[in-house]
Each structure stands twice: as structure tokens, then as C-alpha cells.
């Protein structure tokens, strides 16, 4: 849809990069944002009047054909985490090529983009399906990932929005809304025994990697360094993943993350995984989404 360099709808312009990415630059009276069309990945979002971006992108992260870019909101689909059959971690949607299906201004001043995988991008997936990502850029950021089963048989699905939130300092932020909820502590290694959260979630120098179960939210992240609160509301999900590699594990991601990056983000991920694995009947659809809002502390 649209040509590179032209406005595809009010406030949205496509820009090609030397590395081969195609970016949608969005500027409206409500917000500005940057979306990688090739990866269906929101890279930046900032409401008007906010000093700092909502999202974090790794200092060394770049567009690479067939590779993920750590930062923003990568998609995890059609599985979340490790594939037991040996496929890429978190699936292949975030490394597949996507295209812009359409773009439209909304009545409240927001703009909506809808993206779908390029023809052939789902060839490796044995179950016929349709996949669509809707992004709504307004006073809040809204994302919805829809999967429709077009096969004549059911199949299982896990998925997620792997959101990297920008923070002032990892040891200063507190994530609220999960007090009393059970979680699986993946940082401890196997076997993973259920734990129970007490008070807000905090992150320090060690890795935090937790799957919170049966937690409808909403969540809110208080950041005294940046002087703001980020509210996250999930749709189609009651499972959250909270992740930060900490100073102890960030070396594993050196292609995308510099050592000092560990203090500058916290992943708060809206997911269907663990006890919330989905079984899609023929003709059925799954929708998972999240809305993000920045407030002043």
C-alpha cells in the first residue's frame, strides 16, 4: 500500500532504509511513533507532551534479514518461548516479512495501521491461517494480534507481545498489579516450581524471568527516575511475562544489547502460554492485545 516517501494516510509516511527495512513514520496531534513494516514491530511511541519514549530499543539493535531486533514490541507467534520441535525461539512471525494492508485516521485523532505477513511468509507453518496485526497510535498505544484458523482441523497456539518498556533505572522501578499471584521463575532453571508474588515486582542486578499465571491486570509500572507511571491493560490474556536479563545475563544478547542497557528497560509482556495455551477450532479466531498509557507520577 502506498509508495516509499509518500503519505499513505494522514500523518503516516513510508521510509525505506539502507539495511532493507521499511518504516512507517507517524506524526499526529496526539502522538508520534515509528513502526517497522517489514517486521510488524512498533519501535517507538511517544504521546505529545511526554519527554521520553514509551519503548526501549537495544543500543546495538538493527534490522537484519531473518533476524530479530531486540526492542520495541516484537511479536511472539505461533509459539512463545522454546519450540519443542527445534524452531526459532518465540516463533517466526518476528523475523518474517510483513506488509502494510491499510492505514486510516480515526475519529478521535488516532491513526490505525493494519499489517499482514507477505505472501509465502507462513509457508513453514503447516496449518492454514490468516494473521493480522492492528496498531492504534493515539493518546494511548493499542496493539491487537489476530489469528484465524483456516484449516479443517484444530491446532494449538501460544503467542505474545514482547514489549520492552523504557525505564530510568531497573533497580528503581516497581511493577504493581501482581501481588499475590502465582508465577513460574524461569531464571532459576528447571524444574520450575510455582512461587507467589509478594508486593510489587522489582529488578536489580540479577536476571528476572517470570511467567505470572491467572493475572488479568491491569498492571502499572512506577518509574521515579523518569517521573512517570506506565499502565498496561491486556486483552485476550491472563498471563504476563516480566523479563530483564540483569547484569549477570545481558552478555548473552551482545548483538543487540550493550552492557549498560540492562538498567534501561523492563519487558512487561502480554502472552498466552503455560496454562493459557490456546486450541483453535476450524474457523475460530484468537485475539491478543494490549493498551499502553503514560501518566505523570
Q: What is the pLDDT of residue 7?
A: 79
Residue 212 placed within a domain: yes
- DSSP class of residue 248 equals H
pLDDT at 29 over 80: yes
On whether residue 1 sits in a domain, the answer given is no
**Of all helices (H) and strands (E), which one includes residue 47?**
strand 41-47
Total structural domains in the chain? 1
Share of the chain above pLDDT 70, in %: 97
**Nearest residue to 183 via CA among 77, 265, 248, 275:** 275
Peptide bond into 242 cis (omega under 30): no
Using CA atoms, how far apart are residues 48 and 32, in angstroms rounded to an integer? 7
The 8-class DSSP code of residue 73 comes to B
- Provide the greatest CA pair distance for the chain: 53
Give dist(CA 45, CA 61) in Å, integer.
Answer: 17
Residue 118, domain member (yes or no): yes
CB 211 within 8 A of CB 272: no
Cut 0.95: pTM above it:
yes
Evaluate whether residue 29 is within a structural domain. Answer: yes
- Cell numbers describing residue 230: 506506565
What pLDDT is recorded for position 189? Answer: 75
Domain residues for the domain of 86 are: 6-296
pLDDT in tens, 8-27: 898 999 999 999 999 999 99
Q: What would the pLDDT profile of 93-148 be if each residue is shown by its tens digit? A: 999 999 999 999 999 999 999 999 999 999 889 999 999 999 999 999 999 999 99
| Burial of residue 128 (number of CB atoms within 10 Å: 0-12, 13-18, 19+) | middle
pLDDT value for 66? 87
**Would 75 be classed as within a structural domain?**
yes
- Give the model's confidence band at 3: pLDDT under 50 very low, under 70 low, under 90 confident, else very high: low
pLDDT digits (tens, 9 = 90+) for 136-168: 999 999 999 999 999 999 999 999 999 999 999
Task: Look up the CATH number of the domain holding residue 197.
Answer: 2.70.98.10
Amino acid at each position: 500500500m502506498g509508495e516509499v516517501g509518500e503519505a499513505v494516510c494522514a500523518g503516516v509516511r513510508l521510509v525505506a532504509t539502507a539495511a532493507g527495512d521499511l518504516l512507517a513514520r507517524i506524526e499526529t496531534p496526539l502522538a508520534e511513533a515509528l513502526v517497522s513494516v517489514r517486521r510488524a514491530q512498533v519501535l517507538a511511541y511517544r504521546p505529545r507532551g511526554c519527554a521520553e519514549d514509551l519503548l526501549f530499543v537495544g543500543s546495538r539493535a538493527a534490522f537484519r534479514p531473518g533476524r530479530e531486533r531486540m526492542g520495541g514490541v516484537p511479536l511472539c507467534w505461533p509459539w512463545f518461548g522454546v519450540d519443542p520441535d527445534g524452531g526459532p525461539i518465540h516463533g517466526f512471525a518476528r523475523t518474517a516479512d510483513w506488509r502494510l494492508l491499510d492505514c486510516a485516521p480515526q475519529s478521535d485523532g488516532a491513526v490505525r495501521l493494519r499489517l499482514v505477513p507477505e505472501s509465502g511468509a507462513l509457508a513453514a507453518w503447516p496449518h492454514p491461517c490468516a494473521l493480522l496485526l492492528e496498531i492504534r497510535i493515539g493518546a494511548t498505544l493499542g496493539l491487537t494480534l489476530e489469528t484465524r484458523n483456516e484449516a479443517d482441523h484444530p491446532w494449538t497456539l501460544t503467542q505474545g507481545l514482547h514489549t520492552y518498556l523504557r525505564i530510568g533505572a531497573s533497580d528503581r522501578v516497581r511493577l504493581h498489579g501482581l501481588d499475590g499471584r502465582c508465577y513460574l521463575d524461569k531464571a532459576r532453571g528447571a524444574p520450575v516450581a510455582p512461587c507467589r508474588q509478594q508486593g510489587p515486582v522489582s529488578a536489580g542486578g540479577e536476571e528476572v524471568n517470570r511467567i505470572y499465571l491467572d493475572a488479568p491486570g491491569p498492571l502499572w509500572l512506577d518509574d521515579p527516575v523518569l517521573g512517570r507511571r506506565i499502565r498496561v491493560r491486556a486483552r485476550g490474556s491472563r498471563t504476563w511475562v516480566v523479563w530483564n536479563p540483569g547484569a549477570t545475563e545481558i552478555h548473552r544478547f551482545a548483538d543487540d544489547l550493550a552492557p549498560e542497557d540492562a538498567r534501561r528497560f523492563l519487558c512487561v509482556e502480554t502472552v498466552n502460554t503455560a496454562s493459557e495455551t490456546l486450541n483453535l477450532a476450524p474457523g475460530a479466531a484468537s485475539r491478543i492485545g494490549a493498551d499502553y498509557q503514560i501518566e505523570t507520577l
